[in-house]
C-alpha cells in the first residue's frame, strides 16, 4: 500500500492527454508529420498506417524526443513544442522506441531501475517500482539476467517494463508486439487493457488484429495526416467482402486506405 | 496542540483503566502522537505487563528481520558503472596517445613537446562519447527522460575530466607546466559543450579536434617551435577563455533538453 499524494488526486485541467493541432515534424529533411490534428484521452489508442506514414516520427515527437517544426503539441496540458520546460511532461511519460538501445551488461532490474532514476522517481521507491514493472511484463524469473543474454521477445518486454516503471499518464509503445510469441501477445493485450483504464496509451503497430482486440480507439494516419479516428467496431463495419483482409477489422482497414487514396488522387 | 493530559490520566491510560471513557482515550492518543514530552511520561507509567509485551514483539521483529532477505544493495553504483564502462575505452585511447606523445618527445628533444600540443584535445573523445547518438545505445530512451539536459552532460563530462586530468597533471608536473597543460584542456571542454549546443556535442568535438590539429599542431610540428598560444605568457588568456566559455554554456542550458545536441 502506498500513500497517494495530493498531486495525484488533483483535478485535471486539460481536456486531452495528448493534443496536436496542425503538428509538423521533420524526420531528417523529410516532413514526416505534416499538419496532423489529433486528440487522445484515456484509453488504448492503436496507431495504424502503412510504412512511411509517419507513425514513428509522431511517436518521437509525442515522446518529446523530436522538436516539432510547426503546429502545436500539448501533453497533459503542458506545451512541449517550444522552449517551455519539458520536465513535468517527461516525468509523466513512458516511451518504448521502435529500436531501443540498451546497455548489454546491465541486468533487467538494473536497467529498469536506471531508467526509473532517469525519470526522477523518488529514490526510496525505485527498487519496489522496478520489481512491480518487471512482474507486470512477466519477466520476474529473468530479473537478474543480463540484457545481452535475453531473447528478442524478452528484450521487448524489458523495454515495456522500463516504459511503465514510473506509472506514466501517457504511455507510448512503438511496435511493442515485435518478437513476441502468440501467448506473450495475448498477455500484452491484457496488460494494455489494464493500463488503458487510467492511462492514455498510444500503441503503434502493423498488426490490425492487435488493435481490434486490445484498443478502445483506432487512429489511422497516412502521409503524416490523420485519415480516420474511431472505435475498432466502427473500423470493422467499414469493410465488406469486396476488400482485402482476413478479418472484419482488416477489411475495414483496407477499405479506409483505399477510400483515402482515391480521395487524394482526385 | 491540545492541552497536556494530567499525569494521572496518562497513568490510567497506560494501565488500560476501564474507567477512562473512549473520548478521553482518543484525545490522549491524538495528543501523544504530537507531543514527545507526554510520550516520555507515558514510558514512565507503563505497567510490567505492557513492557513484557513490547519486549516480546521486539524479539519477534528482530527474528523476522534476521530470517528475511538481505536489504537490496543501493542502485547508486549502477549510474557510475554505465559511465565508466561506456567512457573507459575512449579515455584509455586518449591516455595511450598521450603516453606515445611523451615517448616521442623524449626521443626527439629538439621538437616542441607533443604532450603539450595534444593536451587541449585530451578530454574531447571522452566528452563526445558521453553524449553521442552513435556511442550511447540508449540515447533515444535517455532523450525522452526529465533528466536529459545540461546537468546530465556536465555529470558525464566531469567523469571524463576526472579520468583525464590526473594523467595530464602527471605529465605537466613532470615538465613544470601544470597550468599550460590543464587550462587549455578545460577551455576546449567548455568550447565543445558550447559549440555542441548548436551543432551537437559529437560534431563539435570532432570539429574542434580537426581545427586545433590543422591550425596549431601541424604548423608547430613543421616549424619545430611551440606556438605563442602555448607559451607561459598565454596562461591568463586561457583562464579567461575557460571562464567565459563555461558561462556562455550555462546560458544555453535549455538547448540540451532536445535530441539535437546528442
DSSP string, chain A: --PPPHHHHSPP--S-SEEEEEEEEEETTEEEEEEEEEEE-SEEEEEE--TTSSHHHHHHHHTTSSPPSEEEEEETTEE-SSSS--HHHHHTEEEE-SS----TTSBHHHHHHHHHHHTT--HHHHHHHHHHHHHHTT-GGGTTSBGGGS-HHHHHHHHHHHHHTT--SEEEEESTTTT--HHHHHHHHHHHHHHTTTSEEEEE-S-HHHHHHH-SEEEEEETTEEEEEE-HHHHHHH--TTSS-SSHHHHHHHHHHHHHHHHHH-
- Look at residues B45, B67, B89 and tell me which one is the last residue of a structural domain: B67
> Among all residues of chain A, which has the CA nearest to that of B255?
A83
Instruction: Establish if A260 belongs to a structural domain.
Output: no
Give the bridge partners for A36, in sequence order: A23
Instruction: Establish if B2 belongs to a structural domain.
Output: no
Instruction: Establish if A239 belongs to a structural domain.
Output: no
Same domain for A174 and A77? yes
> Among all residues of chain A, which has the CA nearest to that of B80?
A114
- Look at residues A144, A167, A190 and tell me which one is the last residue of a structural domain: A167
Supply the pLDDT for residue B73: 59
Same domain for B175 and B89? yes
pLDDT above 60 (res B139):
yes
Collapsed DSSP state (helix, strand, coil) of residue B92: helix
Same domain for A119 and A34? no
Instruction: Establish if A266 belongs to a structural domain.
Output: no
The closest alpha carbon to B204, from B163, B261, B245, belongs to B261
Q: Is-contact B151 B255, C-beta < 8 A?
A: no
Total count of residues recorded for chain B: 262
> Among all residues of chain B, which has the CA nearest to that of A64?
B144
Report CB contact under 8 Å: A118, B257: no
Instruction: Establish if B106 belongs to a structural domain.
Output: yes
Report CB contact under 8 Å: B86, A65: no
Residue ranges of alpha helices (H) inside B108-234 are 114-118, 124-130, 139-143, 150-175, 178-199, 201-212, 218-223
Instruction: Establish if A252 belongs to a structural domain.
Output: no
Same domain for A162 and A51? no
Same domain for A47 and A113? no
Instruction: Establish if B1 belongs to a structural domain.
Output: no
> Among all residues of chain B, which has the CA nearest to that of A63?
B144
- Look at residues A148, A167, A186 and tell me which one is the last residue of a structural domain: A167
Contact residues, chain A, for B79 at CB < 8 Å: 114, 117
Same domain for A113 and A175? no
pLDDT tens track for B165-211: 888 888 877 777 788 888 999 999 999 999 998 888 889 999 999 99
Report CB contact under 8 Å: B141, A97: yes
Same domain for B148 and B173? yes
Sole residue written with cell 482518543: B26
Cα B223 from chain centroid?
42
B245 in contact with chain A, both atoms CB, cutoff 8 A: no
Report CB contact under 8 Å: B140, A101: yes
Instruction: Establish if A244 belongs to a structural domain.
Output: no
B138 in contact with chain A, both atoms CB, cutoff 8 A: yes
Q: Is-contact B174 B230, C-beta < 8 A?
A: no
For chain A, how big is the Rg over CA atoms in Å? 19
Pick among B132, B146, B147, B261 to test the A interface (most A CBs inside 10 A): B146
Q: Which of B75, B136, B259 sits opposite A117 (nearest CB)?
A: B75
Instruction: Establish if B83 belongs to a structural domain.
Output: yes
For residue A98, what are the contacts with CB-CB under 8 A and spacing of at least 6? A56, A59, A174, A175, A204
Instruction: Establish if A141 belongs to a structural domain.
Output: yes
Same domain for B13 and B112? no
Number of domains comprising chain B? 2
Pick among A103, A115, A162 to test the B interface (most B CBs inside 10 A): A103
Instruction: Establish if B175 belongs to a structural domain.
Output: yes
Contact residues, chain B, for A126 at CB < 8 Å: 75
Instruction: Establish if B22 belongs to a structural domain.
Output: yes
pLDDT tens track for B182-194: 899 999 999 999 9
Instruction: Establish if A112 belongs to a structural domain.
Output: yes
Same domain for B139 and B34? no
B200 in contact with chain A, both atoms CB, cutoff 8 A: no
Same domain for B122 and B217? yes
Instruction: Establish if A219 belongs to a structural domain.
Output: yes
pLDDT tens track for B87-136: 788 888 888 988 898 888 888 877 778 888 888 898 998 888 888 887 77
Same domain for A139 and A177? no
pLDDT tens track for A133-161: 999 998 999 888 998 899 888 899 999 99
For residue B82, what are the contacts with CB-CB under 8 A and spacing of at least 6? A103, A106, A114
Same domain for A18 and A88? yes
Supply the pLDDT for residue A18: 92
The closest alpha carbon to A156, from A215, A224, A108, A87, belongs to A108
Same domain for B141 and B253? yes
Residue ranges making up the domain that contains A135: 100-167
Q: Is the ipTM of this complex over 0.90?
A: no
Cβ pairs bridging A and B (under 8 Å): 79
Same domain for A151 and A207? no
Q: Is-contact A45 A217, C-beta < 8 A?
A: yes
Report CB contact under 8 Å: B140, A120: no
- Look at residues A167, A199, A215 and tell me which one is the last residue of a structural domain: A167
pLDDT band, very low/low/confident/very high, at A42 (cuts 50, 70, 90): very high
Residue ranges making up the domain that contains B27: 7-67
Report CB contact under 8 Å: A119, B146: yes
Number of domains comprising chain A? 2
Instruction: Establish if B156 belongs to a structural domain.
Output: yes
Amino acid at each position: 500500500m502506498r500513500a497517494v499524494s495530493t498531486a495525484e488526486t488533483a483535478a485535471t485541467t486539460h481536456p486531452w492527454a495528448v493534443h496536436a493541432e496542425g503538428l509538423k515534424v521533420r524526420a531528417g529533411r523529410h516532413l514526416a508529420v505534416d499538419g496532423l490534428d489529433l486528440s487522445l484521452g484515456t484509453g488504448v489508442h492503436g496507431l495504424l498506417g502503412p510504412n512511411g506514414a509517419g507513425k514513428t516520427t509522431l511517436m518521437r515527437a509525442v515522446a518529446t524526443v523530436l522538436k516539432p517544426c510547426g503546429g502545436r503539441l500539448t501533453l497533459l496540458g503542458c506545451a512541449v513544442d517550444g522552449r517551455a520546460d519539458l520536465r513535468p511532461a517527461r516525468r509523466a511519460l513512458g516511451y518504448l522506441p521502435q529500436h531501443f538501445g540498451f546497455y548489454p551488461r546491465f541486468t533487467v532490474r538494473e536497467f529498469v531501475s536506471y531508467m526509473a532514476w532517469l525519470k526522477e522517481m523518488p529514490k526510496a521507491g525505485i527498487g519496489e517500482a522496478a520489481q512491480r514493472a518487471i512482474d507486470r511484463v512477466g519477466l520476474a524469473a529473468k530479473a537478474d539476467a543480463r540484457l545481452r543474454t535475453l531473447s528478442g521477445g524478452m528484450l521487448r518486454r524489458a523495454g515495456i517494463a522500463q516504459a511503465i516503471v514510473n506509472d506514466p499518464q501517457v504511455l507510448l509503445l512503438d511496435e511493442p508486439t515485435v518478437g513476441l510469441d502468440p501467448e506473450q501477445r495475448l498477455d500484452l493485450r491484457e496488460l494494455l487493457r489494464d493500463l488503458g483504464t487510467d492511462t492514455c496509451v498510444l500503441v503503434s503497430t502493423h498488426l490490425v488484429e492487435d488493435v481490434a482486440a486490445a484498443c478502445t480507439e483506432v487512429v489511422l494516419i497516412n502521409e503524416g495526416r490523420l485519415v480516420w479516428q474511431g472505435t475498432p467496431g466502427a473500423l470493422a463495419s467499414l469493410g465488406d467482402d469486396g476488400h482485402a483482409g482476413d478479418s472484419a477489422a482488416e477489411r475495414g482497414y483496407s477499405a479506409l486506405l483505399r477510400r483515402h487514396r482515391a480521395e487524394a488522387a482526385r | 496542540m491540545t492541552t497536556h493530559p494530567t499525569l494521572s490520566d496518562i497513568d490510567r491510560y497506560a494501565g488500560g483503566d476501564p474507567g477512562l471513557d473512549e473520548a478521553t482515550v482518543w484525545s490522549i492518543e491524538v495528543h501523544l502522537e504530537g507531543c514527545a514530552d507526554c510520550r516520555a511520561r507515558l514510558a514512565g507509567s507503563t505497567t510490567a505487563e505492557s513492557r513484557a509485551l513490547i519486549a516480546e514483539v521486539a524479539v519477534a521483529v528482530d527474528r523476522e528481520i534476521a530470517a528475511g532477505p538481505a536489504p537490496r544493495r543501493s542502485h547508486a553504483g549502477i549510474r557510475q558503472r554505465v559511465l565508466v564502462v561506456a567512457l573507459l575505452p575512449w579515455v584509455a585511447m586518449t591516455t595511450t596517445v598521450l603516453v606515445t606523445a611523451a615517448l616521442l618527445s623524449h626521443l626527439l628533444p629538439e621538437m616542441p613537446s607533443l604532450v603539450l600540443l595534444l593536451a587541449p584535445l585530451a578530454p574531447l573523445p571522452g566528452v563526445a562519447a558521453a553524449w553521442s547518438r552513435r556511442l550511447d545505445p540508449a540515447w533515444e530512451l535517455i532523450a525522452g527522460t526529465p533528466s536529459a539536459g545540461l546537468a546530465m552532460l556536465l555529470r558525464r563530462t566531469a567523469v571524463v575530466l576526472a579520468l583525464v586530468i590526473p594523467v595530464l597533471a602527471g605529465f605537466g608536473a613532470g615538465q613544470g607546466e601544470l597550468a599550460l597543460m590543464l587550462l587549455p584542456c578545460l577551455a576546449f571542454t567548455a568550447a565543445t559543450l558550447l559549440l555542441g549546443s548548436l551543432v551537437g556535442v559529437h560534431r563539435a568535438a570532432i570539429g574542434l579536434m580537426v581545427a586545433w590539429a590543422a591550425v596549431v599542431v601541424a604548423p608547430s610540428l613543421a616549424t619545430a617551435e611551440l606556438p605563442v598560444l602555448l607559451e607561459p605568457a598565454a596562461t591568463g588568456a586561457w583562464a579567461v577563455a575557460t571562464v567565459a566559455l563555461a558561462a556562455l554554456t550555462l546560458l544555453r542550458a535549455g538547448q540540451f533538453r532536445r535530441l539535437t545536441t546528442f
